[in-house]
Each structure stands twice: as structure tokens, then as C-alpha cells.
Amino acid sequence: MRHPHQPQRNRREDHRAPRFDGRREQLSASTEDIEEWSPQGPVTELSAEHCWKLLNTTTLGRLGVSIDNQPEIFPVNYTADGASIIFRTAHGTKLRDLLINNTVVLEVDAQIENGAWSVTVKGAAAIIGPDAPPGSDADEFLPRWIPTEEFVYVRITPTEIRGRKFEHELRLIIHPA
């Protein structure tokens, strides 16, 4: 049964589902935000442009990697330039993992009034080197959390970017007397 606020859809005409044909040519399923409904309240599938704007509102994300079929996740400070993500790391587990398997995901989220948003960026990580990329504010912008003299800059080139905004819906609950 369909909820009264849930739009009726014809699956054959559902143009929102991305079709990648085994390739990751599209970064997002849509070029505009698409409002949907869930039992918890309204959900908006965000456009790639909206995702990049949200990525620029914060600097802390979670980097997911997979080594020997074991997931690992690391907090990272990053900067986004609308085409890639740059973060800095010290020599250690994270850097070693990236050298073994450079396929990564970055997840960033935040709570907002009456809801939350989440953006995931999947892509390939490439080691840039010890110096910040030319034209980047990464050296000035990214905080240094660990006392080390040697950092390595890493760039994530996205193959896919997805985002969702969730809104809480206030509901009146009446308990029987």
C-alpha cells in the first residue's frame, strides 16, 4: 500500500536509476535533486553539483578502504575542489593500504535542522607526493593532527558521487487511553 505522500511511480519510466553498463561514466544518477519519500520522512537524492557544495561545507570525512577483503575506515581532513578530493596523511597504515588497493570511498555527513545529509564519493586514490598540489589551499587548510615532519598528499578522482538529504517528519502519536 502506498503512503498518501508517496508519489506513484511506473518502474518502466523510472529514469532516476543509473545505468552504468559496467562502466562508471556518470558521477551521479541525476543532474538535479530528486525528492522521494520514505517511512521516516522525505528523502532527497542530491545532484552532483549539490553534493560538491555540501562537501565544501565541512572538512572531516571517513575514508573507506579494503585490504585482503577486510574493510578499514579512517577519519581524514580533506579539501574539495569540485573535481577531486585532496587529503594529507603520514606514512603508516592508511598510506600502505592505498598503495595496495587504491579504490576508495569517502563518506561525509552532517546533521542539519530537521534532518541530516550524507555524501559518498567513490574513486581512485593517487599519491601526489610530499608537496601540496599547485593552486591548492590544502597545505594551509588541512590541520596537522599528528606530530610528523613528513606528509604525503593524496588525490581522490571520483568515479561516482552520491548524496541524500533526510528530513525528519513530525508525527502525532495518539496512545489509547
Dihedral sign from CA coordinates of 57, 59, 62, 65: positive
Using the 8-state DSSP alphabet, how is residue 131 labeled?
A: S
- Kindly report which listed range (3-12, 56-65, 74-83, 132-141) carries the lowest average pLDDT score: 3-12
Segment 168-175 mean pLDDT = 64
pLDDT reported for residue 69: 85
Residue 40 contacts residue 166 (beta carbons within 8 Å): yes
User: What superfamily would CATH give domain 35-165?
Assistant: Electron Transport, Fmn-binding Protein; Chain A (2.30.110.10)
From the centroid of its chain, how far is CA 13? 27
Is the confidence at residue 37, as pLDDT, over 60? no
What residues pair up with 153 in beta bridges, in sequence order?
A: 88, 129
* Bigger pLDDT: 69 vs 133: 69
Is the confidence at residue 4, as pLDDT, over 80? no
* Bigger pLDDT: 42 vs 110: 110
d(CA 141, CA 138): 5
d(CA 82, CA 94): 24
**For the chain, domain boundaries:** 35-165
Is the confidence at residue 17, as pLDDT, over 60? no
pLDDT reported for residue 11: 33
pLDDT reported for residue 145: 60
What the block records as the C-alpha cell of 17 is 536509476
| pLDDT tens readout for residues 116-171 | 999 999 999 999 987 766 666 665 666 566 666 688 889 999 999 999 998 876 55
pLDDT reported for residue 50: 95
- How far, in Å, are 3, 38, 130, 172 from residue 175 at the CA level? 21, 23, 62, 10
- Kindly report which listed range (57-66, 81-90, 152-161) carries the lowest average pLDDT score: 81-90
Residues 6+ apart with CB under 8 A from 88: 77, 132, 138, 142, 151, 152, 153, 154
3-state secondary structure of 116: strand
Average pLDDT, the chain: 77
pLDDT reported for residue 54: 96
Percentage of the chain modeled with pLDDT above 90: 38
